[in-house]
């Protein structure tokens, strides 16, 4: 019954919306499978029955508008891969197509047709393979996808826990492999069920992720010395790629659900992009000392200048001279007020950051949560650069406030967010960047003063190892301050409970986000989380 309801919702999400000469159909990927707060990959088909246009496609979901470029020729049909975030199965999208001049070419409302996975089971997708393969590898299969129906960006896989392949993944087009590789490096799990006598091709996805050339048989390939260190698991082999894991095995020798232990069981309900503690840790907009003195000094200067102008004006002999002097002085005072008091804007931006690393891997992944408030009416623009994805961040799953916000991805893959604020509104966003090679090896080991985290409890590191000191709940750790504790509790919820991490305060650090329309930028806290060996 649940499958029938999901199929009906998916069909509803693919309904065609018409408006004038432009028609738009929106269909979610992976059979509408989603996780609250995570990016949802949508395939939008734009049919243009009129003149060619170069404009924008906008989808407004739960109060946030997601915008991207749209270019369709005359009497032609174009495809667009859009990414939105939703927290409810019944989410709807307001679809708008605009010309380059801002004229509305199409406007409609459509159900996205989203569905949650089964509670207590990881979100696994079988790629170009029967669903039974995913069940065999991971003990779960939430959806299936053809090899030519995969998202072009790693953000499209953000809601998933695992991908299952039958064979070496050679059917996946070359254009779609970088997104899968980026997703794995960011923490995803890819599993391959191999046939004993079938070859592993050198140009296959498995060979790329394994760093080893193809072999005549799967057994030979698994036994070959590879660039990556592997270990046995469930009758197969597994190895780490960045923060993620690749596992493969020969089907007759694989144990049932051989790699199920690599995945989290809370995939369907896990919402990483809400957290009351971290949301409350941001201090909000306020007048700092420098701004206060700027306002006081500007106000005193204006009063003195006004008194002098009034005295000089009344000493003048002609009305024309008085009027010209008063007008010129007013313009000058307005310029002084703008330049001296609030030259940039009234917004305040505060950011927290987590750098994720893995022992034995020379790279890192950056995730930032940024809070935007204002001391008055303001419009703030954030530039996230070449981030992997940007989504709203909330206090809780029921919170949907924050005022107008637009998240945009341009043709070059750069993300920006713009929000209109008043004195009583706050907007928070979360952004993460692809795994970047090049983290210094000396920064990957534990050192004195770090925290070791295992199964939700922490202990302080002595020298380069644990001295057997007391383990205690992370909630009880206050030495780093409330801001760091809130950030650590949020990151612990994102990390797998069985993982072993070392945590370190990162000071100083610089945000990767630039802002316009702000009078102050602050840094809340930053931490390095290093994933230990299994």
pLDDT at 17: 45
In whole angstroms, give the CA distance from residue 331 to residue 336.
9
pLDDT at 396: 85
Task: List the chain pLDDT tens, one digit each, 534 residues.
Answer: 444 444 444 444 444 444 458 999 999 999 999 999 999 999 999 999 989 999 999 999 999 999 999 999 999 999 999 999 998 999 999 999 999 888 999 999 999 999 998 888 899 999 999 999 999 999 999 999 999 999 999 999 999 999 999 999 999 999 999 999 999 999 999 999 999 889 999 999 999 999 888 899 898 898 886 656 788 988 899 999 999 999 999 988 888 888 998 998 777 778 899 999 999 999 876 655 555 555 556 656 665 666 566 556 556 556 666 666 666 666 666 555 555 555 556 788 999 999 999 988 889 999 999 999 988 788 899 999 999 999 999 998 777 667 789 999 998 999 999 999 887 788 999 999 999 987 655 555 667 778 989 888 888 887 655 555 688 899 988 889 999 999 999 999 998 766 789 999 998 999 999 999 888 889 999 999 998 875
Q: Decide: helix, strand or coil at residue 207.
A: helix
Report pTM: 0.86
**Pairwise CA distance, residues 68 & 80, whole Å:** 9
Q: List the beta strands (DSSP E) in 174-222.
A: 189-194
Please name which of 147, 130, 136, 132 lies closest in space to residue 236, comparing C-alpha atoms: 136
Residue 13 confidence (pLDDT): 42
Looking at residue 14, its pLDDT comes to: 43
Task: Give the pLDDT of residue 35.
Answer: 93
User: Which among 202, 81, 84, 85 is positioned nearest to 150, based on CA atoms?
Assistant: 81
pLDDT tens-digit map of 2-22 = 444 444 444 444 444 444 589
How far is residue 324 from each of residues 351, 422, 527, measured CA to CA in Å? 48, 37, 59
Which tokens belong to 372? 């935007």
The first and second tokens of residue 441, run together, are 């090896």
Query: Are 485 and 478 contacting, i.e. CB atoms less than 8 angstroms apart?
Result: yes
**β-pairing verdict for 64-72 and 405-409:** parallel
Burial label, 155 (beta-carbon count in 10 A; 0-12, 13-18, 19+): buried
How many C-beta atoms lie closer than 10 Å to residue 313's C-beta?
15
């Amino acid at each position: 019954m649940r499958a029938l309801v999901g199929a009906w919702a998916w069909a509803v999400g693919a309904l065609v919306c018409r408006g004038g000469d432009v028609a738009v159909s929106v269909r979610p990927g992976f059979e509408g499978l989603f996780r609250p707060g995570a990016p949802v990959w949508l395939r939008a088909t734009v049919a243009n029955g009129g003149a060619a246009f170069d404009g924008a496609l906008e989808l407004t979901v739960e109060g946030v508008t997601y915008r991207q470029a749209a270019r369709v020729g005359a009497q032609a049909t174009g495809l667009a891969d859009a990414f939105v975030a939703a927290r409810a199965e019944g989410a709807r999208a307001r679809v708008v197509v605009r010309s380059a001049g801002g004229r509305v070419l199409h406007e409609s409302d459509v159900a996205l047709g989203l569905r949650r996975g089964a509670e207590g089971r990881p979100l696994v997708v079988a790629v170009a393979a029967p669903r039974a393969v995913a069940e065999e590898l991971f003990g779960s299969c939430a959806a299936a996808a053809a090899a030519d129906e995969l998202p072009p960006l790693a953000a499209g896989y953000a809601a998933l826990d695992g991908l299952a392949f039958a064979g070496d993944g050679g059917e996946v087009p070359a254009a779609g492999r970088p997104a899968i590789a980026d997703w794995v490096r960011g923490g995803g799990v890819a599993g391959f069920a191999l046939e004993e006598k079938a070859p592993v091709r050198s140009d296959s996805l498995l060979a790329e992720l394994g760093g080893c050339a193809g072999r005549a048989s799967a057994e030979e390939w698994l036994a070959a010395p590879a660039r990556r260190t592997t270990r046995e698991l469930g009758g197969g082999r597994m190895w780490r790629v960045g923060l993620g894991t690749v596992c493969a095995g020969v089907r007759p020798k694989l144990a049932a659900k051989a790699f199920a232990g690599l995945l989290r069981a809370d995939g369907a309900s896990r919402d990483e992009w809400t957290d009351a503690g971290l949301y409350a840790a941001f201090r909000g907009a306020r007048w700092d000392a420098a701004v206060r003195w700027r306002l006081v000094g500007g106000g005193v200067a204006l009063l003195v200048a006004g008194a002098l102008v009034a005295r000089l004006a009344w000493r003048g002999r002609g009305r024309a001279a008085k009027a010209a002097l008063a007008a010129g002085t007013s313009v000058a005072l307005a310029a002084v007020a703008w330049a001296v008091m609030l030259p940039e804007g009234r917004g305040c931006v505060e950011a927290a950051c987590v750098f994720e690393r893995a022992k034995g891997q020379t790279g890192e992944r950056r995730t930032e949560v940024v809070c935007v408030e204002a001391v008055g009416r303001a419009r703030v623009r954030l530039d996230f650069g070449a981030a992997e994805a940007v989504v709203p961040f909330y206090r809780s799953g029921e919170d949907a406030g924050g005022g107008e916000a637009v998240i945009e991805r341009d043709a070059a893959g750069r993300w920006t967010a713009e929000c209109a604020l008043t004195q009583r509104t706050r907007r928070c966003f979360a952004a993460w960047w692809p795994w970047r090679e090049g983290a210094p090896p000396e920064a990957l080991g534990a050192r004195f003063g770090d925290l070791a985290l295992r199964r939700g409890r922490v202990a302080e590191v002595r020298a380069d190892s644990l001295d057997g000191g007391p383990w205690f709940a992370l909630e009880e750790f206050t030495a780093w301050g409330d801001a760091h504790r809130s950030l650590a509790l949020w990151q612990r919820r994102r990390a797998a409970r069985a993982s072993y991490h070392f945590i370190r305060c990162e000071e100083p650090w610089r945000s990767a986000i630039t802002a316009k329309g702000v009078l102050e930028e602050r840094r809340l806290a930053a931490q390095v989380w290093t994933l230990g060996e299994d």
